[in-house]
Structure 1
Amino acid sequence: MRALKLHELSLADRLADLAVDALIDEADLSPKPALVDRRGNGAHSDLHLGLMHASALSLWPMFKAMAEAALECGEVGVPLREALGRIGREGEQAMLVTTDGVNTHRGAIWALGLLTAAAALEPRALTLNAARLALLNDRYAPHAASHGALVAQRYGARGAREEAQLGFPSVMQRGLPQLRKSRQQNTGEQNARLDALLAIMTDLADTCVLYRAGLEGLQAMQLGAQAVLDAGGSATLAGRRQLQALDQQLLALNASPGGAADLLAACLFIDRLDGAL
Structure 2
Amino acid sequence: MRYIGSKAVEAMLMEAVCAPAPGLVDRYNSGAHTDMDIFTFMRSTAALGPAMYSCAACGYMHEDSPSALLRRIRPIGRQAETDMFVATDGVNTQKGLLFVMGILCAATGAVYHQVYGYEKAITAEKILAYVKEMCRNLVAEELGAMQIDEGAMTAGQRLFKQYGIRGIRGEVEDGLPAVLYAGLPAYEEAKQAGFSNDVVLLHTLLALMTVVEDTTIVHRHNLTFLRDVQADAQRIMSLGGALTEEGFQAIVDLDANYSSRRISPGGSADLLAVTHFLYEVTA
Secondary structure of the corresponding residue to residue 205 of structure 1: coil
- Displacement after TM superposition at 1:78 (Å): 4.5
> Is 2:31–2:258's contact at 8 Å kept on the other side of the alignment?
no
Partner deviation per Cα, 1:92-118 (whole Å, 9 max, x = no partner): 011111111111111111111111001
- Displacement after TM superposition at 1:68 (Å): 1.9
Output the CA distance in 1 between the equivalents of 2:252 and 2:260. Answer: 12
Q: 1:179 aligned to 2:168? A: no
Bigger Cα displacement from structure 2, 239-248 vs 24-33: 239-248
Query: In the alignment, what sits opposite 2:119?
Result: none
- Displacement after TM superposition at 1:177 (Å): 0.2
Bigger Cα displacement from structure 2, 96-105 vs 76-85: 76-85
Output the CA distance in 1 between the equivalents of 2:216 and 2:27. Answer: 21
Secondary structure of the corresponding residue to residue 104 of structure 2: helix
Secondary structure of the corresponding residue to residue 135 of structure 2: helix
Query: In the alignment, what sits opposite 1:222?
Result: 230
Query: In the alignment, what sits opposite 2:109?
Result: 120
Query: In the alignment, what sits opposite 1:43?
Result: 32
Output the CA distance in 2 between the equivalents of 1:14 and 1:22. Answer: 12
- Displacement after TM superposition at 1:76 (Å): 3.0
**Aligned with 2:276 (options 268, 271, 274):** 268
- Displacement after TM superposition at 1:192 (Å): 1.6
Secondary structure of the corresponding residue to residue 186 of structure 1: coil
> Is 2:68–2:134's contact at 8 Å kept on the other side of the alignment?
no
Amino acid at match of 2:104: L
Query: In the alignment, what sits opposite 1:192?
Result: 200
**Aligned with 2:62 (options 65, 73, 84):** 73
Amino acid at match of 2:37: H
Amino acid at match of 2:99: W
Q: Give unpaired runs (5+ residues) of structure 2.
A: 113-121
User: What is the number of residues matched between the two proteins?
Assistant: 264
Query: In the alignment, what sits opposite 1:146?
Result: 154
Q: Give unpaired runs (5+ residues) of structure 1.
A: 1-10
**Aligned with 2:249 (options 216, 224, 241):** 241
Residues 242/46 of structure 1: CA separation in 2 closer, same or farther (3 Å cut): same
Question: How much is the aligned-residue C-alpha RMSD, in angstroms?
Answer: 2.3
TM-score (ref. length: structure 2): 0.86
Output the CA distance in 2 between the equivalents of 1:81 and 1:185. Answer: 37
Secondary structure of the corresponding residue to residue 234 of structure 1: helix
Residues 218/21 of structure 1: CA separation in 2 closer, same or farther (3 Å cut): same
- Displacement after TM superposition at 1:77 (Å): 4.0
Amino acid at match of 2:70: R
